A and B are shown apart, each in its own frame.
Chain A
Amino acid sequence: MTTVSASPFTGLDAERFATHLAQRSYLPAWWIAAKQEAWNEFNSLPMPSRKDEHWRFANLKGLALEDFQVPEDHSSLVPRLPDFPQASEIIFSNCQVVGRTGLPQELADQGVIFASLDEALRDHSDLMRKHFQRHPVQLGGQKFIALNVAFAASGTFLYVPKGVKVDLPFVVQHTLSGDRQSIFPHTIVVLEDQAEASLVEFFVSGDTKSQLASGVNDLHAGQNAKLTYVGAQNWSDDTLSFQANSIHAERDAHIQCLNVHLGGRQARHESHSRLAGPGSHCDMLALTVAKEAQEFDQRTLQTHQAPHTTSNLLYKNALIDTAKTIFSGLIVVDPDAQQTDAYQTNRNLLLSDKAEANSLPGLEIQANDVRCSHGATSGRVPPEQEFYLQSRGIDPAKAHELIVFGFFEEVLSRLDNEQLHTVLSDLIQSKFKKS
């Protein structure tokens, strides 16, 4: 087993960490302590090894962190994403806030908070502390979550008080640029009982350099709350990316999560939903376009802790060239969670003979009155579809693009927000344009 005890690399080393902490001495003591603890944890946890089931099929060599640096406090040109109607927006470049629209007064009056981490730590420290890493993801990436907490400087806190409903989405954009730069965005979303809101996060590179991103989300929906979370990443093709989603649903809460994965040399996404209260529901959706030598590694866990809970996971991957995807999912139904409906589906569309889609679906059911299913399919583009499109004058590349969009539509059409549907389609399309 390869164990890396002390952190051998230069960029994210103890010295840099000490500097990072020192620069943040004005922040609450609990935050500083959490960072220190996370840094210790990061150093004590081994790098993933071959024997680790959570990392089966993954390219472990590609995980090396040695080359990356904590970003300088600088901002650079931020790629503009298409505008669409939104409640409020915060834009980060590396770890700096470089743009934001004010929170509409009526939302502020109702007690809605939409703030950068620093602002939230200054103004709402206790509230944040209550929800920060309350239900951490444990799907193998703890070391990278610890790294996130240790160096987290950018990120947002969205808080929607009881009964407040916000129609338009909140939008966050993280931009990473510069060679060997890294970011560690941390997002906390708290919807109190009966609240409704959606948050859309974009993660993009400002250039084509080699970069590191390790992001963490703590998503919490109170009783009967309705939360939509969309995270779309389009990192540079030379980025190493980790993302951990923690989803927590209380009684009758309804959560919809969609992750779109486009960029990165190697991108790992861990998502754990906990159906904690009776009657709660979670949709876990993901769309991935894997191209050239990209590797996308997705690990999921649906934990049903209460009766009458439902979860529905649908992860769709389109694979081109020599790309590789890994899907490993588990549904766990606790003994008390009777009358649970849990579904898990992974579909892989292979547009090339050389692409590799790995699927590891799983169930662990301890209750007897449940409906659970899991399924994984991988298939080539049906040749009759390809020929049909070509026979209308559409060239093979465009035909594949249309077929991929058709394949994704089942997921995209679940979004209520039409404009967001368009924005995501355009983002996905950009992947077919860059060659």
Chain B
Amino acid sequence: MKSLEIRDLTVALTESPDQPIVKGLSLTIKTGEVHAIMGPNGTGKSTLSKAIAGHPDYKVTSGDVLIDGVSVLEMEPDERARAGIFLAFQYPAEIPGVSIANFLRAAEQARLADGENVDAAAYYKRLYSKMDSLKIDRKFTSRSVNEGFSGGEKKRCEILQMAMLEPTFALMDETDSGLDIDALKIVAEGVNNLRGDNLGVMMITHYQRLLDYIVPDFVHVMYDGRIVKSGDKSLAIELEAKGYDWIKEEFATASA
């Protein structure tokens, strides 16, 4: 079992380090667990996930992020990825002219030791089988990464990458947003297939709907840069019934 420990983390924009967005957040995710993080827009959910992945726009001003007790904060984003962190983006970037096949191959190559090379035949076999199970047309291998993809195609492509790269910890940022119910089911099935003892998931979502398909072990409510409430799946159902307003009322005063 491995752990991703977020310890009293404070994150600000690199350009304005004295205005924290994430404000002393703590959370430990172990492999085998799925943690849902819910919260209103603008609360810092994406900031949290990008800061963990090492996005240069964000600065960790205090606290730490550790994998099995080892801090990742000094690592470059690519090193963190190779250490097992995978960020499924809320808004995946388009890379014109770079095919999915070449891109994923470079990502796999990056995980090999010097002198070792990706076995092309085995690679394509794996890629095609993962694409088939995510109902992604095999023709997509030669399409440019995310370019001209629909919202649903982008999200499925994120899951495809996750399936190929087999991370230890997946940070999934609103993977459900913009998906119709069929696409949501495919994506959820893809994630459920990856669930298991070797994967820990932090699943950021705005809607309870996703949690019907990917049942979380823990649910955390995030508000104004902090986790203000934790519980099990019933918390999500409560949120769905009551909306976020009661959270805002309860904690806006507290933090003011």
Q: Which residues of A contact B57 (CB under 8 A)?
A: 383
In the complex with contacts A393-B107, A406-B98, A388-B92 CB distance below 8 A: yes
Given A391-B89, A392-B86, list of 18 further CB < 8 A pairs?
A: A382-B93, A384-B93, A385-B95, A387-B93, A388-B89, A388-B92, A389-B95, A389-B103, A390-B77, A391-B81, A391-B87, A392-B107, A393-B78, A393-B111, A393-B165, A395-B110, A407-B96, A409-B96
Cβ–Cβ contact B106 & A409, under 8 A:
no
Tell me, yes or no, whether A403 is within 8 Å of chain B by CB. yes
The contact of B55 among A387, A395, A410, by CB within 8 Å, is A387
Cβ–Cβ contact A406 & B93, under 8 A:
no
Q: Report the separation of the CA atoms of residues A74 and B23 in the bound assembly, to the nearest whole angstrom.
A: 73
Chain B window 141-155, contacts with chain A (Cβ cutoff 8 Å), 1 for yes, 0 for no: 000110000000000
Contact sample, A vs B, 29 pairs, CB 8 Å cutoff:
A382-B93, A383-B56, A385-B94, A388-B92, A389-B95, A390-B76, A390-B78, A391-B55, A391-B81, A391-B89, A392-B86, A392-B104, A392-B161, A392-B165, A393-B111, A395-B76, A395-B110, A396-B78, A398-B106, A399-B78, A403-B95, A405-B98, A405-B102, A406-B96, A406-B144, A407-B96, A409-B144, A410-B96, A410-B97
Cβ–Cβ contact B78 & A402, under 8 A:
no
Q: Which residues of B contact A392 (CB under 8 A)?
A: 78, 81, 86, 103-104, 107, 110, 161, 165
Q: B104's closest neighbor in chain A, by CB?
A: A392
Q: Which residues of A contact B81 (CB under 8 A)?
A: 390-393
Q: B130 → chain A, closest Cβ, in Å?
A: 15
Cβ–Cβ contact B95 & A402, under 8 A:
yes
> Which residues of A come within 8 Å of B, CB atoms?
382-385, 387-396, 398-399, 402-403, 405-410
Tell me, yes or no, whether B7 is within 8 Å of chain A by CB. no
Q: A31 → chain B, closest Cβ, in Å?
A: 45
Cβ–Cβ contact B103 & A402, under 8 A:
yes
Name B's interface SS.
Answer: mixed
Q: Which residues of A contact B98 (CB under 8 A)?
A: 402-403, 405-406, 409
Q: Which residues of A contact B106 (CB under 8 A)?
A: 389, 394, 398, 402
Q: Report the separation of the CA atoms of residues A44 and B54 in the bound assembly, to the nearest whole angstrom.
A: 62
The contact of B76 among A385, A396, A398, by CB within 8 Å, is A396
Cβ–Cβ contact A388 & B93, under 8 A:
yes
Cβ–Cβ contact B93 & A405, under 8 A:
no
Q: Which residues of B contact A384 (CB under 8 A)?
A: 93
Tell me, yes or no, whether B53 is within 8 Å of chain A by CB. yes
7 smallest CB-CB distances across A and B, nearest first, come from A406-B97, A409-B97, A393-B81, A406-B98, A388-B93, A390-B77, A392-B107
Q: How many residues of B contact A (CB 8 A)?
A: 32
Of A402, A407, A410, the most chain B CB neighbours within 10 A belong to: A402
Q: Report the separation of the CA atoms of residues A390 and B81 in the bound assembly, to the nearest whole angstrom.
A: 8
Name A's interface SS.
Answer: helix
Q: Report the separation of the CA atoms of residues A424 and B76 in the bound assembly, to the nearest whole angstrom.
A: 32
Q: Which residues of A contact B56 (CB under 8 A)?
A: 383, 387
Cβ–Cβ contact A407 & B97, under 8 A:
yes
Q: Report the separation of the CA atoms of residues A27 and B39 in the bound assembly, to the nearest whole angstrom.
A: 85
In the complex with contacts A394-B110, A396-B76, A388-B97 CB distance below 8 A: no
Tell me, yes or no, whether B233 is within 8 Å of chain A by CB. no
Q: A397's closest neighbor in chain B, by CB?
A: B78
Cβ–Cβ contact B93 & A402, under 8 A:
no
Q: B107's closest neighbor in chain A, by CB?
A: A392
Please provide the chain B residues from 196 to 229 with a CB less than 8 Å away from any CB of chain A in the complex. none
Of A390, A393, A395, A402, the most chain B CB neighbours within 10 A belong to: A393
The contact of A398 among B87, B110, B111, by CB within 8 Å, is B110
Q: Report the separation of the CA atoms of residues A385 and B87 in the bound assembly, to the nearest whole angstrom.
A: 14
Q: Which residues of B contact A395 (CB under 8 A)?
A: 76, 78, 110
Q: Which residues of A contact B104 (CB under 8 A)?
A: 392
Q: A363 → chain B, closest Cβ, in Å?
A: 27
